[in-house]
Structure 1
Amino acid sequence: MSSKILIIEDEEAIATMIKYNLEKEDFEVLTASSGEVGLNVAVANNVSLILLDWMLPNMSGIDFCKLARSRHELREVPIIMLTARSEDEDKIKSFSVGADDYITKPFSMQELIARVKAVLRRTAPMKEKGVIEFADLKVDLTTCKISRGDRYIHLGPTEYRLLQYLLKKPKHVFKREELLEKVWGANIHVELRTVDVHIRRLRKALNAGGEADIIRTVRTYGYAIDNEINQNDNQDLDE
């Protein structure tokens, strides 16, 4: 079965061009011209991925991301932001509200298709089975359910893969470059600060119930899953 992609773009010519090229790659493509319509289409059609324009009427792409990540039906659907805004602050903002990738306009169709395929590969359901446990954290690899004690934790697809990779070697400090390559892919060109943004989101989700922080930061280097942390020294690399 082909992946179902939703394009939320208010410029009809751009949406039509993207739709045409994705359909050539055998994707099933839906379109919406506003965030409000896009939200309804996404929920009703169980989409695999959303291509989202930042500058939409009424509801911006940023606001759509925030709303989508608050809805259980869309919490794990990957989102690629499409925008002419190219400043680092804009990229970080989009990642911080839930986007999984960011493409600056104008872009080539080859790049767009490559990124779509890469994100779909990255966020595909995990094939591993079993349960990983560390301290009070439990990750069921079969159902992708995560819990700390009695509290269930909801993560986006990128944060899930990031956590899963960190749990391969608890207490081992992974360089940001390694995390970027293994979680995002060697051929995807995103900045190192992207790792910091997603670590911050992962940390927030893991600690939302007031639990002790189990992500250790080694400044200028990387991150580890560790339950023996000096909390006063533990800050994200970009802070």
Structure 2
Amino acid sequence: MDAGVLIHTDDVELFLLLRHILETEGVRAGICVHPGELDHAIRTEDPVAVLLDVSNPHIDALDLCRQVKAASRGDIAVAAFTNWLSADLGRDLHAAGIDAIIYRPFNPELLLAFLKRLRANLPRGSLPRTASELIFRHADIEMNVARVRVVRNGQVVNLSALQFRLLLQLMRAPNVVHSRENLIAECWPHDIDVEPRTVDIHIGHIRRALNRHGPDIIRTVRSKGYSLEASPSASEK
């Protein structure tokens, strides 16, 4: 089976775990961090299934499921990964089209059983297109989201999962000044209190990791936040 599965999550560790499980079954996996990306990927990539991480209590799991079903016209299998759901919400999700709900701690056998049901239901000789890798490029930096990989000037940049998410926010809109508050909202769990100074510390780690392979490209805007330079200046080289 050489089909694509889209994984909607902002948890890089979870994505890597699920991708490993899927690849052992011959299934390609792509990641979508935001609902807009997921909607576009469903409409253009024709995946065989979508795995939704609804562990965050601030996520409207029911609404997200409905969006997936609308984008796919109902012709897609959907599994939800969660910490806990009430019995009522579980029934509502199944009614909205969720095919499987998998609770933490995640049991790989449940995911494999879900995939086997998909394989059995696929028309003979009919294989959906694989999900494309999501890649962001700016100046001499390339981020491959599906592979959770950052490269600068041909050299791999080692970042933690949190630092990867922070750099990804900057790469998505390099010319925008991202406030510390926005970065906290996008990159940390909503139920954790994070001081703005913590953002500065992690940006510093990212800056040092990138600077090993090129001049400083992260721009600090006093009292505002961070953005990326259009390109490193000649004086910095």
* TM-score of the pair, normalised by structure 1: 0.47
Task: Work out which structure has the larger RCO, using CA pairs closer than 8 Å and 6 or more positions apart in sequence.
Answer: 2
